[in-house]
Amino acid sequence: DSGVTQTPKHLITATGQRVTLRCSPRSGDLSVYWYQQSLDQGLQFLIQYYNGEERAKGNILERFSAQQFPDLHSELNLSSLELGDSALYFCASSEGGPLHFGNGTRLTVT
Amino acid sequence: DAKTTQPPSMDCAEGRAANLPCNHSTISGNEYVYWYRQIHSQGPQYIIHGLKNNETNEMASLIITEDRKSSTLILPHATLRDTAVYYCIVRFWNSGNTPLVFGKGTRLSVIA
């Protein structure tokens, strides 16, 4: 158990809809990272927050956004969903050393 | 971060040592070598990391060559549960809060 909790585990929704994925980092970790893993793609970095502030941005679409709250949990918002957004979404946290990953949210867009 | 090169796949007999190589010929002096693995759609799992010296923990050993241009992850007694994709990643030592960049990794199959 990495200590990183992601909810929900599975999400099925229709094209055009909006969803929110939630991540609770390990206790004391200030950094939260979001990654996307599609069937035919590797792990793609999306965005990172550190203590509530955006720290780094990767291949995140404009339809996607994230935030980190004062209690350090983070949410990833995906809107105007397309079939190609179907993927595993992972959250990771760190205190400055290795990243520790949750077990992901599997999003299926129909 | 520097790039790494890993073989796409490897097989290992159960109970034998699995030796996973990684080339990182452009690594700079202040970059660590990290190893992660991902077991069938689970979240990536941290294994070990090192800078210059060889490292060992309860999961694996990491051997880094003297010139630091390559490394080997050793699973001493592979089991079927070690079947996974293994990722070798280099990362600046003072980049405590920067993301990891994953490549394609090595798919290790442990065979009974």
Predicted confidence at residue A37, as pLDDT, reads 96
Predicted confidence at residue B2, as pLDDT, reads 58
The C-alpha R_g of chain B, in whole angstroms, comes to: 13
Within 13 Å, how many C-alpha atoms sit on residue B95's CB side?
17
On the question of pLDDT at B42 being above 70, the answer is: yes
Q: How many CB pairs under 8 A join A and B?
A: 58
On the question of pLDDT at A76 being above 80, the answer is: yes
Confidence of residue B4 (pLDDT cuts 50, 70, 90): very high
Residues forming a β-bridge with B45 = B37
How open is the CA angle A22-A62-A25, to the nearest 5 degrees?
20
Quick one: residue B89, left, alpha or beta (phi over 0 = left, psi -120 to 50 = alpha)?
A: beta
Which residues of chain B neighbour A98 with C-beta distances below 8 Å?
34, 46, 49
On the question of pLDDT at B102 being above 80, the answer is: yes
Residues of B with CB under 8 A from a CB of A: 34, 38, 41-46, 49, 96-105
d(CA B108, CA B11): 6
Q: Is the model more confident about B100 or about A15?
A: A15
Q: Give residue A25's identity as a one-letter amino acid code.
A: P
On the question of pLDDT at A39 being above 90, the answer is: no
| Mean predicted confidence (pLDDT) in A78-90 | 97
CB contact under 8 Å between B97 and A30, yes or no, is yes
Quick one: residue A5, left, alpha or beta (phi over 0 = left, psi -120 to 50 = alpha)?
A: beta
Mapped onto helix, strand or coil, the DSSP state of residue A49 is strand
Residue of A nearest to B34 (CA): A98
Predicted confidence at residue A59, as pLDDT, reads 86
CB contact under 8 Å between B43 and A55, yes or no, is no
CB nearest B44 (choices: A43, A48, A56): A43
Cβ atoms B22, B82 nearer than 8 A: no
Share of chain A above pLDDT 90, in %: 90
Q: Is the model more confident about B92 or about B88?
A: B88
Q: What rounded mean pLDDT belongs to chain B?
A: 92
Which residues of chain A neighbour B41 with C-beta distances below 8 Å?
88, 104, 106
| Mean predicted confidence (pLDDT) in A68-86 | 97
Cβ atoms A42, A50 nearer than 8 A: no
| Mean predicted confidence (pLDDT) in A14-42 | 94
Q: What rounded mean pLDDT belongs to chain A?
A: 95
On the question of pLDDT at B96 being above 70, the answer is: no
Interval A51-71: pLDDT, tens = 999 999 998 999 999 999 999
Q: How far is A95 from chain B (nearest CA, A)?
A: 7
| Mean predicted confidence (pLDDT) in B68-73 | 96
Q: How far is B93 from chain A (nearest CA, A)?
A: 9
CB nearest A45 (choices: B38, B96, B99): B99
Q: Which residues contact A99 (CB under 8 A, 6 or more apart)?
A: A33, A92, A93, B44, B46, B99, B100
